[in-house]
Chain A
């Protein structure tokens, strides 16, 4: 069964450093998402992406964040200058055309020190 994959599973970084989180969505899906879950809190929407552009972004998704689909398979989330409060689990999800379900990857746990 096709699944969404994410790398790395864990990342530790210093405050102010740039991080890139990678996702490989399900191959025929067209809609892509990033969510995050701060420890002990609910899952929050960050951004949605379709047809090579952002469809919607939340207030969390400020100028420090960017997304890209560089090669038609990977979908990346970049945080330019990480802050302590960026520490969270980041989930990628993908959705097929005409489908309602978002399929989630296993997540990347980011720790900013």
Chain B
């Protein structure tokens, strides 16, 4: 069975500061990993994904994540936070591609950006 752990249900950073949202996964097969963002009262939007190519993945809005197999981690970072980054961020894992494979989500991290 796969699982995802997101450390920190709430993270607060100042505008312009580094954003670091943590995600650790457990999977018995090589995983596919995703970060989704959910803005208030909206659906889930894909930020970025890891699918066994480059371990450093760049996504939208200046976010990136690094897959570290030895640490079973896929932490999300952004060098400089913007007020518009305030949202809930979900890490998810999937075990297959090209088939109907469910996503297993973490509990989410709510990012607050302050002036």
Residues of A at the B interface (CB closer than 8 Å) are 31-33, 35, 41-45, 48-50, 55-56, 58, 91, 93, 95, 97-107
- Tell whether, in the assembled complex, residue A45 and residue B46 are in contact, meaning their CB atoms are under 8 Å apart: no
Contact A48 to B98, CB < 8 A, known contacts A91-B43, A104-B44, A106-B42: no
**Beta-carbon contacts under 8 Å, B75-103 to A:** 90, 92, 94, 97-103
- Which of B46, B105, B106, B107 has its CB near the most chain A CB atoms (within 10 A)? B105
Q: How many angstroms from the CA of A107 to the CA of B32 in the assembled complex?
A: 24
- Tell whether, in the assembled complex, residue A48 and residue B97 are in contact, meaning their CB atoms are under 8 Å apart: no
Contact A45 to B102, CB < 8 A, known contacts A100-B32, A100-B94, A104-B36: yes
- Tell whether, in the assembled complex, residue A45 and residue B36 are in contact, meaning their CB atoms are under 8 Å apart: no
Which B residues lie within 8 Å of A43 (CB)? Answer: 44, 90, 92, 103, 105, 108
Taking the closest CB of chain B, its distance from the CB of A110, in whole angstroms, is: 15
Chain B interface residue count, Cβ-Cβ cutoff 8 angstroms? 25
Interface of A is mostly: strand
- Which of B34, B44, B92, B98 has its CB near the most chain A CB atoms (within 10 A)? B44
The 5 closest A-B CB pairs, nearest first, are: A55-B100, A48-B100, A106-B43, A104-B44, A45-B102
- Which of A49, A55, A91, A101 has its CB near the most chain B CB atoms (within 10 A)? A101
Q: How many angstroms from the CA of A107 to the CA of B108 in the assembled complex?
A: 17
Which B residues lie within 8 Å of A50 (CB)? Answer: 99-100
- Tell whether, in the assembled complex, residue A48 and residue B43 are in contact, meaning their CB atoms are under 8 Å apart: no
Contact A48 to B46, CB < 8 A, known contacts A100-B94, A100-B97, A104-B36: no
- Tell whether, in the assembled complex, residue B43 and residue A31 are in contact, meaning their CB atoms are under 8 Å apart: no
Which B residues lie within 8 Å of A103 (CB)? Answer: 46
Taking the closest CB of chain A, its distance from the CB of B105, in whole angstroms, is: 4
- Tell whether, in the assembled complex, residue B44 and residue A91 are in contact, meaning their CB atoms are under 8 Å apart: yes
Q: How many angstroms from the CA of A33 to the CA of B99 in the assembled complex?
A: 12
- A99's partner among B36, B90, B98, B107 (CB-CB below 8 A) is B98
